[in-house]
A and B are shown apart, each in its own frame.
Chain A
Amino acid sequence: MTIELVVFIVLGLVAISSALGMLFSRSAVYAALFLVLNFGTVAIFYILLNAPFIAMSQISVYAGAIMVLFLFVIMLLGTQALPDSGALPWQQPLAILLAVILAGEAVYLLFMRKVATAGIPQPIESFGSPQAIGGALFNEYLLPFEITSVLLLVAMLGAIILTKTRKGEG
């Protein structure tokens, strides 16, 4: 029972409960905030897994930018709880069942198949450091990097065009 395992279990519980909280909260704002908490715990997991750069970008991009954007839009659209429409009554139980099955299958898969992990050397200190990531990005993965920038441009354009109002349309 190492410290790491204890931390993992505690953080894991937090992550799962925050996810459940997001799932079941009535208000969209509360859901967003639960999700931010979830992202935070995942960032800590990243640190534990020797990926500090990824952890920082998780915090700044996911929790910082994306969730803030979500909160902006929630505020734009109103946070009132939606009335129960009554359609698809069988959806909820079926969905829960399926999710449980899915989780069960995954867990079963994991603990029934053994994965050989011996003989792999431990990562070095600077394994997930920004220098290492940057080096890999700009050397082997330059093309995907550039394409990603185009993608971001497209997304920007898309966002603008979708929300652009034509003259006279309210």
Chain B
Amino acid sequence: MPLTQAGNAGLFFLAPWVVFFPVIGLLINIAFGHRMSEKAIGTVAAAASGLTFVVSVLLAAALRINPEAVCWTVGEWIHSGNLQLDWTFRVDTLSVTMMLVVSLVGTLIHIYAIGYMHEDVRFKSDPRRFRRFFVFMNLFIAMMMILVTGDSYLMLFVGWEGVGLCSFLLIGFWHEMDTLGRPSWANSDAAKKAMIANRIGDFGFLIAAFLMFWGFGSLQFDAVFHRAISISAINSPLIVLITLFLLLGVTGKSAQIPLYVWLPDAMAGPTPVSALIHAATMVTAGVYLVARSAPLYEAAPAAQLVVATVGALTALFAATIAVGQFDIKKVLAYSTISQLGFMVAGVGMGAFAAGMFHLVTHAFFKALLFLSAGSIILGLERGHHRLGHGHEGGGSKEPELFDPNDMRNMGGMRKTMPMTFWVYVVGALALGGIFPFAGFWSKDEILADAFREGYALVYWLLTAAAFLTAFYMGRQIWMVFFGQARHAAAEKAEESPRVITIPLVALAVLAALGGALNLPGLDTMTTWLEHTITSVHPGEFMPSVAMISTGLALLGILLSWLLYGRRPMQAGEVDPLRRLLGPIFVGMQRKWFVDEAYRALILDRYVDLARFTANVIDDRFWHDWFHEKVLAGTYNFLTRMALNRYADQRGIDAFFNQLGQWTKDASNRLRGVQNGFVRSYALVVLVGVVAMLGYLLFK
């Protein structure tokens, strides 16, 4: 689609404000936050995010009238030789979709976070950290907006790096403690892990960008896609390489195999962070990248197969791990990785609309699930405090170690936290893909596309993952909300305040009704995206696929009821699935030992290499042998032997000493003249007289 410059500016001049509003918000909080109340800080941040949503809506409305892409340049950036880049905001249907999702979900989460962080900073005993949280959140929104509105790969990368930074800052928000509040390196280690894993992905992204510039001469989207199509006929390895390196970046940011390992650890951050960044928005940046690079992927079918397979494998792999987790947020984290696998498989197959549709619906229900989980965790904390193990209780007693995240401490919460219970059920049904919730429509579209396009392996992997998804969500619901409370804190849990539950309800509505965005037949989103990604096409609804997937989902829920719902777990009891599957369950619970394998194969080997280079090569070889023996020894030998003994002592010293000796001898001899005898002095006088007389005579 040819882009048009903003001749008729319309509302497109508002485009940069999606970035400016959050920046203004964070600046206000930085400058004045120390004098503002918590409510004020939160309101400023949420308002900044809300205004961003308003601008996104206006831009979407403007695009409805004029669906062609519009680029709005704010300023010059790099003009160096062939590289010509500006700070240009690209408003087209794809970027507006992302803007809407990020700002809507972001605003709801900001509102939620006002209530959540109010309690969290008090549980962790540091109320002054409230402001920092909202500064970072606004920074994240700004960076994400740069990512989705960038007009070139490099501007996208600026946002890519920026959200990685915010992820680091927010995961390590409670950097000096671990999730239970004890002083530890655990949280900061998790932040580092996220940063480093993302870095490896960024390396892939950069190599792809270099190849792009080298092959196409530009990094700007339209220029790249234009050249790609013409070059693809003659030099396809280049495009395959570019797309595969981009895939490496995607595996980092969107947590696919092999770089997904940071996302479960990222649950160390506060729950709003997990919801916003690690469920709804940042991790979807990789999916957005592939969708944006659609022309490149369309030109490299081999790469498409790789992407789709990676996504499908990740989906199944992560789902198996989710089955064995006891931490409520870890289940959701692996679920996120699994659903991201769905999305990546979707856009990898060329089903860009399906992938983006699932991105949007997943943002709704995953954010909902995470925020509800946060509500449950807070409820447990409140209950724990009410039991008197908090600060008001007996000071002499050692506080017991209580993990509010552990599902084994929960149970029967539907009675104590009803609102949270209902919204959680909505989210779980959406995630499980049960008709008519949003997840059904989007997941189904991906499965249908896989089946139709002939990606058989991908289809079966995704279907198995869908079955497991329903199973582990069911397991979670029975474990948390049904049965008896397995810990006194769960009995005493309280429902969360309205500032928390209202965003949950809003998201539940979206999760329930979100399917309307792209109902088969209506295909609203597909046609919307078609303006940007020319290769999308509305998929036809395949009832067989829908029935298989729905049937498997119901089967999964039934199985989970049989194991966890019919006879609920008691306190201290072993998980029933463990009794069934034994070592397989242990593998699932221990994440298939991937982290341990990475440590043994890569990390420890790297440390060994570093130790080797430091101790053996640097110390023993270079320093001890080469410097000390060879260089210093030779030098000292030379100076001592040659220069000192021969040149200096025998040569120069001898010469000057000899001179001195001669002077001494001469002076000794001359001294003899002054022998003190008067007679010899008189003789000398007479000699002079005679000589003079003789001279005068004979002249």
Contacts and interface: CB of A to CB of B under 8 A. Distances in A.
A111 to B, nearest CB: 12
Interface string A88-104: 10010011001101100
A125 interface: no
Nearest to A106: B693
A101 B683 CA distance: 13
Given A105-B697, A108-B697, A109-B697, A91 B680 contact: yes
Nearest to A102: B690
A88 B693 contact: no
A19 to B, nearest CB: 17
Contact of B679 (A88, A98, A106, A109): A88
A98 B686 contact: yes
A120 interface: no
A162 interface: no
Nearest to B687: A98
Given A105-B697, A108-B697, A109-B697, A98 B690 contact: yes
B683 to A, nearest CB: 6
Interface in A41-61: none
Contacts of A109: 693, 697
Nearest to B694: A105
A98 B690 CA distance: 7
Name the prevailing secondary structure of the B interface residues: helix
B677 interface: yes
B395 to A, nearest CB: 106
B689 interface: yes
Contact of A102 (B675, B680, B693): B693
A101 B691 CA distance: 10
A87 interface: yes
Contacts of B690: 98, 101-102, 105
Interface in B663-699: 675, 677, 679-680, 683, 686-687, 689-690, 693-694, 697
Interface string B193-216: 000000000000000000000000
Classify chain A's interface size.
10 to 19
Contacts of B679: 88, 91
A68 B687 CA distance: 33
Interface in A91-143: 91, 94-95, 98-99, 101-102, 105-106, 108-109
A95 to B, nearest CB: 6
Contacts of A101: 690, 694
Contacts of B677: 87-88
Contacts of A102: 686, 689-690, 693
A139 B209 CA distance: 131
Given A101-B690, A102-B689, A105-B690, A95 B697 contact: no
Nearest to B677: A88
B689 A94 contact: no
Contacts of A98: 683, 686-687, 690
Contacts of A87: 675, 677
A152 to B, nearest CB: 27
A141 B697 CA distance: 34
Contacts of B697: 105, 108-109
A84 B433 CA distance: 144
Contacts of B693: 102, 105-106, 109
Contacts of B675: 87-88
B439 to A, nearest CB: 134
B680 to A, nearest CB: 6
A89 to B, nearest CB: 12
A10 B128 CA distance: 142
A124 to B, nearest CB: 36
B335 to A, nearest CB: 125
Contacts of A99: 686
Contacts of B694: 101, 105
B680 A88 contact: yes
A105 B692 CA distance: 11
B689 A91 contact: no
A106 B687 CA distance: 15
A148 B600 CA distance: 125
Contacts of A94: 683
Contacts of A95: 683, 686
Contacts of B683: 91, 94-95, 98
A95 B690 CA distance: 11
A105 to B, nearest CB: 5
A61 B683 CA distance: 30
A109 B694 CA distance: 10
Interface string B527-554: 0000000000000000000000000000
A53 to B, nearest CB: 32
A94 B690 CA distance: 12
B541 to A, nearest CB: 144
A93 to B, nearest CB: 11
A97 to B, nearest CB: 9
A108 B696 CA distance: 12
A90 to B, nearest CB: 9
A99 B683 CA distance: 10
Contacts of B680: 88, 91
Contacts of A105: 690, 693-694, 697
A102 B690 CA distance: 6
A161 B389 CA distance: 122
B27 to A, nearest CB: 108
A48 B689 CA distance: 31
B150 to A, nearest CB: 114
Nearest to A109: B697
Interface of B: 675, 677, 679-680, 683, 686-687, 689-690, 693-694, 697
5 contacts: A88-B679, A91-B683, A95-B686, A102-B689, A108-B697
Per CB-CB distance, the 7 closest pairs between chain A and chain B, nearest first, are: A105-B693, A98-B686, A102-B690, A101-B690, A98-B690, A109-B697, A105-B697
Interface of A: 87-88, 91, 94-95, 98-99, 101-102, 105-106, 108-109
Given A102-B686, A102-B689, 11 more contacts: A87-B675, A88-B679, A88-B680, A91-B679, A91-B680, A95-B686, A98-B683, A101-B690, A101-B694, A105-B697, A106-B693
